[in-house]
């Protein structure tokens, strides 16, 4: 397995709180269903992940999910992740086909953030969350950020700030940033940086993504 790179800012002065990356590095990837802890200043509410009923599978089982406000059912093996269930199985398994391929599978091991979704009010890596665990919880993907055809303020600011390039990491940045702003409209730069700490952009737009978050925060505050 590839050696994990050192966490950005690890040598800088101690930052308060606990980021998604801190969490992953602490617990490792031994357990599936890694749910990110509430981020300081962007604290997500809700209970911890439900443990799937014992004795399910290994054959496919019907999983009922609520995605972006829509109830859908998909038949998958209990070992299938939420990311794969939505990207690869939902269209085939649903009576009312939904195409949700916005969340990306890049590392598939809980380190890049391309698959970030909001599940039960918490930011999670959907590549390390089982679909079956997400039952009974509201799931929001990048497709759910727009409202009636109008892009979320953060999406608009990403465009304005030129914060997106390859398209693989952008959905994760958008979901993590939007989750932070929805929870804490007064999010500081440090809060926003921490919210994006679990997302990686390899081509250098990380600073522009942060700038877009800050501009969206100001815009959203002005609306309230």
- Measured CA to CA in angstroms, residue 98 lies from 66, 88, 95, 211, 219 at distances of 12, 10, 9, 32, 31
Going through the chain in order, the beta strands assigned E by DSSP cover 61-67, 70-76, 116-119, 122-125, 138-140
169: contact with ligand FES by CB under 6 A:
yes
Contact 175, 199 (CB under 8 A): no
**64 or 203: CB nearest ligand FES:** 203
**72 or 112: CB nearest ligand FES:** 112
Structure-token pair, residue 193: 């940086």
String of contacts with ligand FES for each residue 15-54, x by CB under 6 A: ----------------------------------------
142: contact with ligand FES by CB under 6 A:
no
Structure-token pair, residue 155: 């999406």
Structure-token pair, residue 205: 């737009």
Residues ≥6 apart with Cβ < 8 Å to 37: 18, 20, 23
Contact 180, 187 (CB under 8 A): yes
166: contact with ligand FES by CB under 6 A:
yes
Backbone dihedral angles phi then psi of residue 191, each to the nearest 5 degrees: -60, -45
Provide the 8-state DSSP code for 131: G
> Of these, 79, 202, 218, 221, which contacts ligand FES (CB under 6 A)?
202
Within residues 120-139, the interface with ligand FES by CB under 6 A covers: 125, 127
Crossing angle for the helix pair 170-183 and 153-160, to the nearest 10 degrees: 130
**29 or 38: CB nearest ligand FES:** 29
Shortest spacing between CB 157 and ligand FES, in angstroms: 15
Shortest spacing between CB 3 and ligand FES, in angstroms: 16
Shortest spacing between CB 130 and ligand FES, in angstroms: 13
**87 or 152: CB nearest ligand FES:** 87
Shortest spacing between CB 207 and ligand FES, in angstroms: 11
Interacting residues with ligand FES (CB under 6 A): 105-108, 110-115, 125, 127, 164-166, 168-170, 201-203, 205
């Amino acid at each position: 397995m590839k050696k994990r790179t050192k966490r950005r800012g690890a040598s800088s002065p101690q930052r308060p709180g606990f980021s998604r990356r801190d969490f992953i590095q602490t617990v490792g990837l031994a357990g599936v269903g890694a749910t990110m802890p509430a981020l300081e200043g962007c604290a997500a509410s809700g209970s911890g992940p439900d443990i799937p009923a014992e004795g399910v599978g290994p054959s496919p089982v019907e999983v009922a999910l609520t995605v972006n406000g829509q109830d859908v059912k998909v038949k998958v093996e209990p070992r299938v992740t939420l990311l794969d269930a939505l990207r690869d199985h939902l269209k085939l398994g649903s009576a009312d086909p939904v195409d949700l391929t916005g969340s990306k599978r890049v590392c598939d091991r809980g380190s890049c953030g391309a698959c970030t979704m909001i599940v039960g009010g918490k930011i999670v890596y959907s590549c390390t969350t089982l679909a079956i665990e997400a039952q009974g919880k509201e799931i929001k993907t990048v497709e759910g950020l727009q409202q009636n055809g109008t892009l979320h303020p953060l999406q608009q600011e990403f465009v304005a700030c030129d914060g997106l390039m390859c398209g693989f990491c952008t959905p994760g940045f958008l979901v993590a940033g939007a989750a932070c702003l929805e929870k804490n409209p007064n999010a500081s730069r440090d809060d926003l940086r921490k919210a994006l700490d679990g997302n990686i952009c390899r081509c250098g737009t990380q600073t522009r993504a942060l700038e877009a978050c800050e501009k969206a925060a100001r815009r959203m505050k002005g609306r309230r």
